[in-house]
Amino acid sequence: MNKIAGVIPSRWGSTRFPGKSLALISGKPMVQWVVERVKQAKRLDAVIVATDDQRIADCVQSLAIPDVQVAMTRADHPSGTDRIAEAVQSLEVDAVINVQGDEPLIDPSLIDELAEVIASNEWDMATAATPIVDEQQITDPSVVKALFNRHGQALYFSRSTIPHIREPEGFPMSGIYWRHIGIYAYRRDYLLKLVQEPVCDLENLEKLEQLRALDMGCRMKVIKTEDFGIGVDTPSDVAKAEALLAQL
């Protein structure tokens, strides 16, 4: 049976929101919300917070949540993927799920679904996408669009509007555009190989690290989900997260 770890990368030095892992959301630090949601997933054998800052480590340890570990990592990692790779390189696990540290509303059932896919050994990676229903998001470069084939295998990700509809008259928007959700499952060996690869041209152009995996020929499954949650990227997002939590 596959052993799967859920790893939450949590760094201090966010450009737009330094220290956001400890930002209070409805009275609890954000990292606590994320850990508690991840702990609700049923398919994980370990939960690890990978951080570069002792303040975050101290906070997680003070929560005293059973079976949650802290891995101290280097401060100079270029991405959360690299941070996770350092955290798991000495662990005996078969697969890893990267749960973003700024997703306090991540759906535990989505984590379990990704775990199910990556445990099948049919895929190198898995991620998720949700239908775009707001037309403004179609042209918004901050909203990453996902393209995948009939089998759910990722074809491309872009900040541009893809696919382009040459003759839009009569085409319903429903089911055409998908927003990528930045949660990933990796086979452990593939993750360690991925972070050894240099940045490719497409990744450099779009500033999307998942394009490096596609450039390598990665077999990446895209799970369709209605869940999106909310990413807390700036201080103004805290109020949005609190409003959504109040609806639960």
Angle (nearest 5°) at CA 13 between 7 and 17: 100
- Residues 98 and 106: their CA atoms lie apart, in Å, by 12
Low-confidence residues in the chain, pLDDT < 50: none
Q: Report pLDDT for 171.
A: 73
Q: Report pLDDT for 193.
A: 97
Do 201 and 208 touch, CB atoms closer than 8 A?
A: no
What is this structure's pTM?
Answer: 0.93
β-strand partners of 4: 95
Contacts of 30 (CB under 8 A, 6+ apart): 20, 21, 22, 23, 24, 101, 102, 104, 232, 241
Do 98 and 7 touch, CB atoms closer than 8 A?
A: yes
What residue segments make up the domains of the chain, in order of their start? Answer: 4-229
- Residues 30 and 190: their CA atoms lie apart, in Å, by 29
- Residues 129 and 177: their CA atoms lie apart, in Å, by 10
Do 209 and 81 touch, CB atoms closer than 8 A?
A: yes
One-letter amino acid identity for 240?
K
Nearest CA-CA partner of 80 in 31, 144, 8: 8
- Residues 244 and 248: their CA atoms lie apart, in Å, by 7
**CATH number assigned to the domain with residue range 4-229, chosen from the 4 options 3.30.460.20, 3.90.650.10, 3.40.30.10, 3.90.550.10:** 3.90.550.10
